[in-house]
Amino acid sequence: MALFKSHLNTKVMNQPLSEALNKLMSLYQSRKHPLDYHNLYQLVVMVVLSAQDSDKHINQLAPSFFETYPTFETLSLAQPEDLHSYLNSVRNFGNKCIWLTKIAAIEKALENLPLDLPSLVQLPGIGRKSANVILREAGRPAEGIIVDLHVLRVAPRIGIAEGSQPEKVEQQLMRLISKERWGEIGMAISFLGREVCRPTNPKCEVCVMNAVCCFYNGTHPDNRIFSDPSLFD
Ligand code: SF4
């Protein structure tokens, strides 16, 4: 049974696409996540805050938050309302304050934070994308592939996934890409989306994926991704 509809990149297991993915990964290999965190506690807090908000915004407000709440221990003593004055410019801050205080109450200390995907996604406010980010930044073996808004835009353009549901796109990528690449490929595609494959005016001429990209090579029939870029940024 064919895994994908015919417009998807059937060259995925072929040499050119494999080489292009290797090139992409080596370009961004081990590059730190754009969230400006200094330890895993800060990363967890910032990953929760950055959902549906921008990394830049979270980087701006994080220092004053961490001055008051530098550890899980200090955060575990807070009520959600105590965090509002620091975080009220964050999208969905009410729920995020509840989630952060709950996570802190559960973990109480950084050494209690579980570093495996099934346990991380049990924590409030942490889905698969966030858990995959935490595992990558912690240097743990990948158990999935990071699929953020950039990956949701870029992977269908390349032709290695389709649809707009992150978990479905992740499953497609996990079936197509060998496990040893899982830890880096999601962030590599995300960095490509941030720097090269922007919603409008993607820099295809300088893109390392252009030789195999379905969109660039005119084999992708879906131009909607350019007609409504606000959906993807
Ligand atoms: S070739 Fe163009 S459309 Fe394809 S991934 Fe690169 S920048 Fe995006």
DSSP string, 147-189: --HHHHHHHHHHTS--SS-HHHHHHHHHHHS-GGGHHHHHHHH
**Ligand 1 and 208: CB distance under 6 A:** no
Which one of 11, 12, 205, 209 would you pick to mutate in the ligand 1 pocket, going by the greatest count of ligand atoms within 8 A of its CB? 209
CA distance 171 to 227: 26
Give, for all 233 residues of the chain, the pLDDT tens digit.
334 444 566 544 578 898 999 999 999 988 999 999 999 999 999 999 999 999 999 999 999 999 999 999 999 999 999 999 999 999 999 999 999 999 999 999 999 999 999 999 999 999 999 999 999 999 999 999 999 999 999 999 999 999 999 999 999 999 999 999 999 999 999 999 999 999 999 999 999 999 999 999 987 655 444 434 443 33
Ligand 1 atom with least separation from CA of 196: 7
215 C-beta closer than 6 A to ligand 1: yes
**For the chain, which domains are there?**
15-30+145-232 (1.10.1670.10), 40-137 (1.10.340.30)
Cα separation, 36 vs 51, whole angstroms:
15
pTM recorded for the entire structure: 0.88
CA of 210, closest atom in ligand 1: 1
Tell me which amino acid residue 233 is: D
Could you tell me how far CA 141 lies from the centroid of its own chain? 16
CA of 197 to the centre of ligand 1 (A): 5
